[in-house]
Structure 1
Amino acid sequence: MAIDVKAPPASPSATSRDLADLVRADRAHTSLYTDPAIFEQEMDRIFANCWVWVAHVSEVKEAGDYKSTYVGRQPVVVVRDRKQKIHVLLNRCRHRAATVCEEKKGKTNSFVCPYHGWSYGLDGSLRGVPHPESYGQCLDKGEYPLKSLRVEEYAGMVFATFREDIEPLADWLGPAKKWMDLFMRQGGGYPIKVAGEHRFRFPGNWKIQLENTTDGYHFPVVHKSFLSSVDEQTERMLDFVNGPGFVEDLGNGHSVMVMIPELVDLEDNLDAPVPARFAELAEELRKEGHDEAKVRRIVRAVGGSGFNLNLFPNIACSMAFFRVLRPVSVNETEIHHAVITMDGGPAAANRARLRLHEHFQGPMGFGTPDDSEAWERVQKGAQAGTDLWILLNRGLPGERITEDGRAGDVSAETGMRAAYQQWKKLMTA
């Protein structure tokens, strides 16, 4: 592929800038990190204009279960009604706009506005209004339900969109669906469950984190301290930058980074020796009465998948957790790390999964502090040289066409190029 080396625009203003010119085949303009006007357009043209991940079904498992979250910057409530249908409702009363839910998660029979007492059913319908006689005939409750978004699911993942005319979720996901199916096999024969999460913010643009999930290039540099904390066998397994893995553009901004090819399908090669770091867990499971086949299946699943899947614009299925990004402002992003466990699975296996998560992604682990400092430094550095570009050309010469899109070596910036081309498509549509 030819590399575009045209000179950058000379200090363009936010109003006159040609958005299409800000993303090239091999680079993106620094203003994508720093321009408040661009950020505002992203909220409208991207987050209000495509499928956005909002929940895993395990988070709203039973009727009345809910979680509050965001689609872009708009607060929403994800809730399952008594007919087992999942709704995504704008979190604002139709009367005077107060939020009807402030808890992160919970169980309820209805949502009641704390300001004037308007009450809503689990499907968002307006059920009750205090002192309705004051309205006479000028209030039809059927005209004022909570605003409902379009909702679809795939592989237990719940997505919502403001657009009624958008393509079906399955079409939007495209080739990413097979990777989602593979990711869900880490239940080891049990359904997967979101067991908890921690949240933090970093002073940087949301796209800095979006890039990170399929960026293998940074791993041995940023996570050197983590690699020094693991056993020799694990360290060899994670030395993947020069390995046979790859990054693949899956279309619509989605991408996958395969770091450990032998762990792509956790149902495959179950006769392989149990890694030394899981020997004690395997023995504990045997003592609980699980047969050898089940022990190996569970142990293999505990370590997580050997790939990271990025689903544009806001969710990563990474090893054994979900990483969700929420844009707050042009230079602030909130991250949710949600650990995945086995719903109904052995306590020992879930305990081991939690310890692995804490070791790398937990708030006192190695991965999160190192990554977040790197993201912060990117945002800080982006303030220098306003007409400089972010390079995205690593692996470009060796990129190849595949059945699902295009792929490069495991440290190629293929995933970032995929995300920014989708950004360009949506921002200029």
Structure 2
Amino acid sequence: MNNLIQAVNLDSCPSERVLSDRVHTSLYTDAQVFDQELEKIFYKTWIWVGHVSEIPDAGSYKTTYVGKQPVIVVRDRKQAIHVLLNRCRHRAATVCEHKKGKTNSFVCPYHGWSYALDGSLRGVPHPESYADRLDKGEHPLVSLRVEQYAGMIFATFNDAIEPLEDFLGAARKWMDLFMKQGGGYPIKVAGEHRFRFPGNWKIQLENTTDAYHFPLVHKSFLSSVDKQTEEMLNFVGGSGYVEDLGNGHSVMVMIPDLIDLEANLELPIPARFEELAGQLREEGHDEQAVRRIVRAVGGSGFNLNLFPNIACSMAFFRVLQPIAVDETEIHHAVITMDGGPAVANRYRLRLHEHFQGPMGFGTPDDSEAWERVQKGASAGTDLWVMLNRGLAGEQASADGLVSDVSAETGMRAGYQQWKKMMSAQETQ
């Protein structure tokens, strides 16, 4: 008998589908599990909804989702940030359909109910028809709990949840390091592209902490870069590592020399950035600033996964939005330097397009791999997905567990948090 096949009662609690070294394929295909994930994970924990640079001024807003529920992220006149359900309290129509913009209020296009930036109901047409039976104070847009760290905005439906900083835990220091990509300037989300793939959201969650696939899936990308960059990205057998940071978060360090972008600035500037360095010098930047900016342009040497929906991935934000058990939307948000040199930001954009863009060398190959996983998950009736790579060499660290860079430690971390959250509600 194949000892990799272990039968599971699919009517049992979902937590039995996650073991220490594998997960059951039904986690990708079971629509009932997907519905439970929305309720027990996406509507119970902290969900990333934006970066402060996306709503810089009073009245600035963006629309997004928490799970499958549409929300508006908006800054009010006092600079406070709100996350509001995008649903009129009268007859449920959305009050905002634009991806982003700036406004003084939100007005329902169906019957004209208007709401202030903090969500309070400001006015209704022909109020006399309600006589004294409408108290505007009782019908604001529903507001989620909101907290932020390092400029990253999180929201939750769960008022009883721990503070955001406690939830992030050991991941906070990595968030701080990631934000050094501003090169001395604040970072700014300068746009994003969105796409969907026919696969479960957890397939993508795994990918951001998967170094094992890189030299194979991204062979075309590696063939498109210079030799020095190719050698730098040959990290599977290198000194990098993956670390479980707790609460489902993990970091995959691919290029240890680029953990702290402000360290070792005296090292030689890579050949691919020599032209950029020269242009910055011509603009009058001193040598220290030139080296700091050039280092930042190349991005961090690590991927940070924040459970369940956001990755700080080398030089961009990767956001996942669950659509259905077999469909996921991905947002790739490019990061630039707010107020930084235009030439450096152009380099950032071109680097982003080279790998992450829709015509790039990286994302299309990743997407095909994710689609194949979903397709293959339909083969067989009781099979498991193996997550045991690097388990034998896993060791305790100050923040959790650590193993070599191609280990599946980060995936195991995410699934153990999945198991914890999916089990917690079963006994209540």
TM-score by length of 2: 0.98
Name segments (4+ residues, structure 1) moved above 2 Å.
5-10
Correspondence 1:261-410 to 2 at 5 A: 261-410=256-405
Q: Which amino acid aligns with 1:246?
A: Y
The residue number in structure 1 matching 2:71 is: 76
Helix, strand or coil: the match of 1:284? helix
CA contact (8 A) 2:5 2:384 kept: no
Cα deviations across residues 340-395 of structure 1 (Å, max 9, x unaligned)?
00000000000000000000001110111000000000000000012000000000
Give, in angstroms, the shift of residue 6 of structure 1. 8.3
Q: Which amino acid aligns with 2:280?
A: L
Taking the aligned partners of 1:386 and 1:226, their CA distance within structure 2 comes to 36
Taking the aligned partners of 2:4 and 2:338, their CA distance within structure 1 comes to 53
Cα deviations across residues 140-185 of structure 1 (Å, max 9, x unaligned)?
0000000000000000000000011100000000000000000000
The residue number in structure 1 matching 2:39 is: 44
1:9 corresponds, among 7, 10, 30, to 7
Taking the aligned partners of 2:378 and 2:33, their CA distance within structure 1 comes to 15
Taking the aligned partners of 1:365 and 1:93, their CA distance within structure 2 comes to 40
CA contact (8 A) 2:4 2:384 kept: no
Q: Which amino acid aligns with 2:32?
A: A
The residue number in structure 2 matching 1:119 is: 114
2:199 corresponds, among 195, 201, 204, to 204
Taking the aligned partners of 1:61 and 1:286, their CA distance within structure 2 comes to 30
Taking the aligned partners of 1:46 and 1:33, their CA distance within structure 2 comes to 15
Taking the aligned partners of 1:364 and 1:49, their CA distance within structure 2 comes to 36
Taking the aligned partners of 2:318 and 2:344, their CA distance within structure 1 comes to 21
Taking the aligned partners of 1:342 and 1:409, their CA distance within structure 2 comes to 32
The residue number in structure 1 matching 2:29 is: 34
CA contact (8 A) 2:75 2:82 kept: yes
Give, in angstroms, the shift of residue 8 of structure 1. 2.5
User: Are 1:220 and 2:196 counterparts?
Assistant: no
The residue number in structure 2 matching 1:55 is: 50
User: Are 1:90 and 2:85 counterparts?
Assistant: yes
Q: Which amino acid aligns with 1:379?
A: Q
Q: Which amino acid aligns with 1:376?
A: E
Taking the aligned partners of 1:230 and 1:46, their CA distance within structure 2 comes to 40
Please, which runs of 5 or more residues in structure 2 have no aligned partner?
none
Taking the aligned partners of 2:344 and 2:110, their CA distance within structure 1 comes to 46
Taking the aligned partners of 2:392 and 2:236, their CA distance within structure 1 comes to 17
Cα deviations across residues 273-330 of structure 1 (Å, max 9, x unaligned)?
1100000000000000001110000000000000000000000000110000000000
Give, in angstroms, the shift of residue 19 of structure 1. 1.4
Taking the aligned partners of 1:270 and 1:105, their CA distance within structure 2 comes to 37
Give, in angstroms, the shift of residue 20 of structure 1. 1.8
Give, in angstroms, the shift of residue 7 of structure 1. 5.4
Taking the aligned partners of 2:118 and 2:362, their CA distance within structure 1 comes to 40
Cα deviations across residues 78-109 of structure 1 (Å, max 9, x unaligned)?
00000000000000000000000000000000
Helix, strand or coil: the match of 1:106? strand
Taking the aligned partners of 1:20 and 1:102, their CA distance within structure 2 comes to 38
Correspondence 1:251-270 to 2 at 5 A: 251-270=246-265
Give, in angstroms, the shift of residue 72 of structure 1. 0.4
User: Are 1:171 and 2:166 counterparts?
Assistant: yes
The residue number in structure 1 matching 2:18 is: 23
Taking the aligned partners of 1:357 and 1:125, their CA distance within structure 2 comes to 40
The residue number in structure 2 matching 1:187 is: 182
Helix, strand or coil: the match of 1:305? coil
Correspondence 1:239-258 to 2 at 5 A: 239-258=234-253
Q: Which amino acid aligns with 1:190?
A: Y
Q: Which amino acid aligns with 2:406?
A: S
Q: Which amino acid aligns with 2:6?
A: P
Cα deviations across residues 379-424 of structure 1 (Å, max 9, x unaligned)?
0000001200000000000000000000110000000000000000
Give, in angstroms, the shift of residue 21 of structure 1. 1.0
Q: Which amino acid aligns with 2:282?
A: K
TM-score by length of 1: 0.98
Taking the aligned partners of 1:131 and 1:361, their CA distance within structure 2 comes to 51
Give percent identity, aligned residues only.
77
Taking the aligned partners of 1:101 and 1:251, their CA distance within structure 2 comes to 36
Taking the aligned partners of 1:247 and 1:108, their CA distance within structure 2 comes to 43
CA contact (8 A) 2:246 2:413 kept: yes
Q: Which amino acid aligns with 2:330?
A: I
Taking the aligned partners of 2:7 and 2:141, their CA distance within structure 1 comes to 45
Taking the aligned partners of 1:176 and 1:36, their CA distance within structure 2 comes to 31
Helix, strand or coil: the match of 1:351? helix
Cα deviations across residues 207-248 of structure 1 (Å, max 9, x unaligned)?
000000010000001000000000000000000000000000
Q: Root-mean-square deviation (CA), in Å? A: 0.8
Change (3 A) 1:356 1:130: same
Taking the aligned partners of 2:88 and 2:194, their CA distance within structure 1 comes to 26
Taking the aligned partners of 1:319 and 1:218, their CA distance within structure 2 comes to 16
